[in-house]
Amino acid sequence: MSDTRQTPPRTPARPALRHPHKAPPQAGDLLKVAEGVLWLRMPLPFALDHINLWLLEDGDGWAIVDTGVASTLTRDLWEQVMRQPRLGGRPVTRLFCTHFHPDHMGLAGWLCERFGIEMWTTLGEWATGMHLSLDTTDEFRAASVRFYQAAGFGPDLMEKVRSRGNAYAGRVAPIPRAYRRIVDGQEIRIGRGTWRVVVGQGHAPELAALHCAEDGVLISGDQILPRISPNVSLWPNEPEADPLGLFLRSLQVFGALPRDTLVLPSHGLPFIGLHARVKELADHHAERLAEALDACAGQPRSAMDLVPVMFPRPLDDHQLFFAIGEVLAHVRRLEVEGLLVRQVAADGVHRWTAATDSAG
């Protein structure tokens, strides 16, 4: 698993999005974006080179939202941040993690120990992060081998699958064994405001966004991003899931929030234009679904066959693993809808064909 599960959309963000802040804070600096909300940006060692973190004024201290990856650099930046005069020497009160990916939960254990605080997150995110951080067994590797063989990987790529192991475990500090569970719809008093948990699915199992209706602010995690489409993939640990179906249903939930909400995303700039962005993401996936369905008309196609159809640009190996997951999420959605039929050939590769072809 990786923490950079985002893929570029076919078209850039529309002018309907308005960015109140034209530039982010420098790494380790703080910028006020709303009453009682400070924006902090940390570097990431990936093509997606940053994550936005948030500090919420919380009574006589500060609540943290998300952590950054587990690295010496990120730890040092946190120490620098907490010494800033702007925070007034006030303590950290608690940690909220939107989801389990390493850039969001990677330093949860260290922060909780360093400041003597609890991690607040959903059961789905805590359990997934805990499981992946501890699963270095042969069974983990075997599940990955089965999954990518069925997707149509050739011998060279399969060798890379076998050599990868569990990348997630190496990118997180030990995840807290105990945590404070939060659930969809729960209202949490943080400082002067009440924040409601809005769960999003598809990108992660049970991502916890936070919405403060009185201030018109949404901390969206990776569920709604301004310029890139959150990666929605099928993964070896849940090969028969329907993540895209979950993601599209979650878009309806976020689309029901007020139009003028200030969205604080984990990547990119804060923006206003939630409804326009939700529609754009839905349209983006509708286009991808149509491409996959059209490509499967007339002949069976494996996930690897569909990668150049849905991702026509050159991909390195790192990008290919995300692309194959996205392709599988789309064909799985079409299969659930009854538009594609899966066939398993003698070589063990799963191939899909249009249901109309199969019926004929």
The full DSSP string for 253-314 is HHHTS-TTPEEEESSS--EE-HHHHHHHHHHHHHHHHHHHHHHTSSS-EEHHHHHHHH--S-
Residues sharing a CB contact under 8 Å with residue 47, sequence separation 6 or more, in sequence order = 4
- Residue 207, Ramachandran bin (φ over 0: left; ψ between -120 and 50: alpha; else beta): beta
Mean pLDDT of 341-358: 91
8 A C-beta contact, residue 172 and residue 129: yes
pLDDT for the residue numbered 46: 87
Given a contact cutoff of 8 angstroms between Cβ atoms, the answer to whether 317 and 309 are in contact is: no
Whether the pLDDT of residue 272 is over 90: the answer is yes
Q: Are 108 and 227 members of one domain?
A: yes
- Asked whether residue 109 falls in the same domain as residue 234, the answer is yes
- Do the domain assignments include residue 322? yes
Span 103-125, average pLDDT: 99
Same domain, 343 and 260: no
CA distance 106 to 86: 25
Asked if residue 290 belongs to a domain, the reply is no
285, 316, 334 - which closes a domain: 285
User: What mean pLDDT, rounded, does the chain reach?
Assistant: 94
Judge whether residue 1 has pLDDT over 70.
Answer: no
- The answer to whether residue 158 sits within a structural domain is no
Average pLDDT of span 44-71 = 96
Using pLDDT thresholds of 50, 70 and 90, give the confidence band for residue 345.
Answer: confident
pLDDT at 286: 98
Segment 55-62 mean pLDDT: 98
% of the chain residues with pLDDT over 70: 95
Q: Are residues 74 and 209 in the same domain?
A: yes
**Residue ending a domain, choose from 285, 312, 328:** 285
Q: Is residue 145 part of a domain?
A: no
Q: Which of 244, 263, 285 is the last residue of a domain?
A: 285
What pLDDT is stored for residue 136 in this prediction?
76
Give the alpha-carbon dihedral of 189, 131, 8, 37, to 10 degrees. 20
**89 in the same domain as 20:** yes
Q: Residues 257, 274: contact at Cβ < 8 Å?
A: yes
Indicate whether 91 pLDDT > 90. yes
Range of the domain at 269: 6-134+168-285
Q: Which two tokens stand for residue 357?
A: 């072809």
Residues 333, 255, single domain; the answer is no
Do 99 and 181 sit in the same domain of this protein? yes
Does residue 350 sit in the same domain as residue 235?
Answer: no
Least reliable range by pLDDT among 53-62, 129-138, 316-325: 129-138
Task: Round to whole Å and give the CA distance between 201 and 241.
Answer: 12
pLDDT of residue 318: 84
Q: What is the pLDDT of residue 135?
A: 86
Looking at residue 266, which CATH number applies to its domain?
3.60.15.10
Residue 155 lies inside a defined structural domain of this protein: no
Q: Is the pLDDT of residue 2 over 70?
A: no
Q: What percent of the chain has pLDDT over 90?
A: 87
DSSP state letters, 127-185: HHHHHHHH--SHHHHHHHHHHHHHHT--HHHHHHHHHH--TGGGGSPPPPSS-EE--TT
In a domain? residue 157:
no
CATH (domain of 327): 1.10.10.10
Q: Could you tell me if residue 150 is inside a domain?
A: no
